[in-house]
Amino acid sequence: MTESFRRSGEYETPQGDQPQAYPQQQHASSPVNPEWPPPPAHQPQQPVTVEPGTTVWPGQTAAPAPAPQAAFGADGGAYGGDGHGGGGDTALLTPVQAEAPKPKKRTRGPIALLAAVAIVAAAVGGGTAYAFQQLTGKDTVATSSTTTAVVPSSKKGDVASIAAAVSPSVVEVSATLSNGTSTGAGVIITSNGEIVTNNHVISGATSVKVKTSDGKSYTATVVGTDSKKDLALLKLSNASGLRAATLGNSAGVQIGDTVVAIGSPEGLTGTVTSGIVSALNRDVTVSTDESQSQGSGSGGGSGQWPFQFGGQQFNGDTGSSTTTYKAIQTDASLNPGNSGGALIDANGNIIGINSAMYSSSSSSSSSSDAGSIGIGFAIPINTVKADLASLRAGGSDS
């Protein structure tokens, strides 16, 4: 043998040979076997630190994550990288657990904002139409399918509060006729000047003027008429920023409910009266003939509008061309000039358009006997809302 064993446990290298690149340690009690394979001819590569898995040599500080247990052979020794158990320079592969990603914070974007707005909108009911109009700038009719508090809940039924909230939405309508003038009222339904009134107020008019509660005057155009429902739609010229009324739900009206009427009787703009709902679904018959429209002033008629109720004619002859509609009866005082004005519930919602009133005077009586005796009628606001699309298209009379 050309190799001898030394106390250091290393192989002795004969002179003239190159030193072995990788001396292999042996135990002192282990025999030397010349048939063992020679040590590798090159130094092993240094470990490379890689995330998230890291190779750690013995003696180095490992990551705080616990290392998995090594696989053991039959003799109880851990398997090393060279396939032999118990090697002195065996690499221990210790995977380091990667840090769990933090959950991303959800951003409150436009969809979440719209959803929040939708929830708030659902909480306030029909009043959201007016709010949408203000947010978008679009002219949307403010309607309510349920009871909406236009006045504060603590002021429900308070006539002064109702009048203050709704009066800016009621206008005086003056129509110039071939035989004089006709005076009535109207209700603002959009901020850019759409006005609902009675057909008989503007029937046969050559021109129409409208005066708002703040005294401003506008020229109005007749957009559409429906003589069968005694309704008409006007549009003011160069109007903006007007206060639109909230159209309520006449299906929820009950006999005995408190109501307020606002109109322009005898040209007295913004006159407020109050009362209750006296009856529902009254059959009221009115004329559809333009010649039967009300008149006042020079060359005009009595200032009243003829209608039929209970088989009798009131305020003159309705003529042969008539139509009948279901009306709300009220004891709120209505006089000539209230026609086309607002009938309002205790919450400030429009529930009807005042259209007819009974007068104790007949065509042969003196005008001093004329006046309201507490029997008036209004077209239900649900009838008006159902007819709006047709009126905007010109109405059934076009």
Catalytic site residues?
200, 230, 339
CA distance 84 to 12: 24
User: If you search the block for the tokens 């040599």, which residue do you land on?
Assistant: 57
Query: What residues have CB less than 8 Å from 241, skipping those under 6 apart?
Result: 191
CA distance 397 to 394: 7
Supply angle C-alpha 273, 249, 261, rounded to 5: 10
Nearest to 236 by CA among 212, 214, 215, 213: 212
The DSSP bridge partners found for residue 235 are 194, 221
| 337 Rama sector, left if φ>0, alpha if ψ -120 to 50, beta otherwise | left
CA distance 171 to 195: 8
Q: Is 369 helix (H, G, I), strand (E, B) or coil?
A: helix
Terminal-residue alpha carbon distance, the chain: 127
CA distance 24 to 394: 107
DSSP-assigned letter for residue 353? E
Contact call for residues 359 and 304 (beta carbons, < 8 A): yes
CA distance 265 to 133: 32
Nearest to 238 by CA among 172, 191, 170, 192: 192
The residue type found at 363 is S
Question: What does the block give as tokens for 33?
Answer: 């076997």
